[in-house]
Amino acid sequence: MKHVKILLVEDDLVDVMAVRRASADLDLGQDIVHVSNGQEALDYLSSNTQSFPDLIILDINMPIMDGVEFLQHKIKNERIIAIPTVVFTTSNAELDRHKCYKLNISGYMVKPIDYQEFKLMYKDLSSYWLRCETPIYNK
């Protein structure tokens, strides 16, 4: 099985625990690195000495730097622009979806409240990215 490294950009610790729990329950063997906002994500990506994540899972509504602001920075940075990014948020607003897709996201998913539904959605998301070939990054 391919090992997938995920950068989870999420300020809600309940959602962080849900992602980690779903990954463990599904036995996905993912390496999940968590940061709490867009600025921490940019800092992590700019100071990373190992390897970039295969996937960024991004919330929109966060303090300091929200998901849309992060995406605005990401598309201007040649080192990280190609990292697939899926928005995983509670916002079902058309305006949010439109803004994010204009900023080159790979997908937009609305988090279900029920854990079993959450786990199924996370399984679908993970299964898809497990099969995708992502770029190998030169630093």
Domain assignment present for residue 75? The answer is: yes
Domain assignment present for residue 138? The answer is: no
Q: What domain range includes position 43?
A: 5-131
Domain assignment present for residue 22? The answer is: yes
**In b/e form, how buried is each residue of 56-81, taking b as 16+ CB within 10 angstroms?**
bbbbbebeebbbbbbbebbeeeeebe
CATH number, position 70: 3.40.50.2300
Q: How many domains does the chain have?
A: 1
pLDDT tens-digit map of 52-106: 898 999 999 999 999 999 999 999 998 899 899 999 999 999 999 999 999 999 9
Domain assignment present for residue 139? The answer is: no
Domain assignment present for residue 78? The answer is: yes
Domain assignment present for residue 137? The answer is: no
Average pLDDT taken over every residue of the chain:
89
* pTM listed for this prediction: 0.90
Local confidence band at 2 (pLDDT 50, 70, 90 cut-offs): low
Domain assignment present for residue 29? The answer is: yes
Give the residue among 77, 96, 90 at the shortest CA–CA distance from 121.
90
Residue pair 73/44 in contact by the 8 Å Cβ criterion = no
Domain assignment present for residue 19? The answer is: yes
